[in-house]
Structure 1
């Protein structure tokens, strides 16, 4: 599940000039985005965050979450980090709302419960749950 989300995120990030200008633009008003940024693929915080999200695929799907990774020094990773103001040399996890605003930003992996509680408190999500 997470592998599929990551692949989808990579495909969307590579999709044209709009994505190059703002790699999150394709998701506005459609999905919430969790961005995991790490200096390399073996970063222990990155591996932990992946595992936390992989353990709750239904919660990820129910909340319209797309998971993107900014790992290493690829152009895509640099562009995503630049857009969110993230450092290159350390782990960060960021929750971006459907409106494109940063809702959470942490230097350590976030438990799914924290992500979900933050999302479930958002007015747009409460409206979604009410329908």
Structure 2
């Protein structure tokens, strides 16, 4: 379900979220280990709603463990390496919501759906009421 950060070159290293700016909203799930129960719960909650993620131009990135890509992603959002976090990043590249526990999808979607850009997108796409 998760899109994993990939890329080479200085730009990807300097701004691991840059490739998504103005194209996607991003949910970053940060966890110290792959067996973290909060990571597994957040993955499952998001994986259950692929159409809703697509409708909101939402991609999921994970920063799990201590490998270099995970460290770079955490550093770009100033997240601690040894704790669980979920971060919603808007299309403008700014963090819109940060949670220390799994974020219910209803709360995630209501945050996104309240954004002026998302309301405009929903009107243009005929998605009002989703």
User: 1:19 aligned to 2:12?
Assistant: yes
User: 1:35 aligned to 2:35?
Assistant: no
Match of 1:73 in 2: 66
* Cα distance in 2 between the residues matched to 1:32 and 1:65: 5
* Cα distance in 2 between the residues matched to 1:35 and 1:22: 14
How many residues are aligned here? Answer: 124
Match of 2:52 in 1: 59
User: 1:86 aligned to 2:96?
Assistant: no
| TM value normalised by structure 1 | 0.92
Match of 2:128 in 1: none
**Of the candidates 2, 5, 12, which is equivalent to residue 10 of structure 1?**
5
* Cα distance in 2 between the residues matched to 1:66 and 1:16: 22
| TM value normalised by structure 2 | 0.92
Q: Deviations over 1:22-42 (max 9, x none)?
A: 100000000000000000100
* Cα distance in 2 between the residues matched to 1:83 and 1:10: 13
Larger radius of gyration, structure 1 or 2? Answer: 2
5+ long unaligned stretches in structure 2? 125-130
2:5–2:16 CA contact under 8 A, matched in 1: no
Task: Give the helix-richer structure, 1 or 2.
Answer: 1
- By how many angstroms is 1:17 displaced? 1.7
- By how many angstroms is 1:87 displaced? 0.6
Report the aligned-residue RMSD: 0.9
Runs of 4+ in 1 over 4 A off after TM superposition: none
